[in-house]
């Protein structure tokens, strides 16, 4: 029973000193370190749309983008929405490469 009280007091002391509970990461409303689930999911969708792997370099992303654009361009029977999706996927993946 004493052990539980000591743990509870330790947690309260931690909260007073650090401003967060011991089991919370970041503290003060800061997000968890690393990419969010939405970022990871968006990257996976962009890679799937362009048909490139996780370790694709700049050249592979641009080549895949050109290939997709040739297929979905409105002059070839595609839609402008598909072109916008391909452009957004390319921009997202190239932006992630630039941040590394």
Q: What is the DSSP letter of 93?
A: H
Q: State the pTM of this model.
A: 0.65
Using one digit for the tens of pLDDT, what is the confidence trace for 2-56? 888 888 888 888 888 877 777 776 655 565 567 777 888 999 999 999 999 988 9
As a whole number of angstroms, the distance between CA 28 and CA 19 comes to 7
Q: What is the DSSP letter of 74?
A: G
Give the three-state DSSP class for 68: helix
Which residue segments constitute the domains of the chain, with CATH numbers given?
A: 35-100 (1.10.287)
User: Tokens in use for 79?
Assistant: 């839609």
């Amino acid at each position: 029973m004493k052990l539980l009280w000591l743990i509870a007091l330790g947690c309260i002391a931690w909260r007073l000193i650090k401003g967060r509970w011991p089991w919370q990461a970041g503290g003060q409303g800061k997000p968890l370190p690393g990419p969010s689930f939405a970022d990871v999911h968006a990257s996976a969708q962009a890679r799937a749309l362009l048909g490139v792997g996780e370790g694709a370099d700049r050249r592979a992303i641009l080549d895949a983008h050109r290939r997709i654009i040739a297929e979905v361009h409105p002059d070839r029977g595609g839609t402008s929405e598909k072109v916008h999706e391909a452009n957004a996927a390319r921009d997202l993946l190239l932006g992630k490469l630039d941040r590394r």
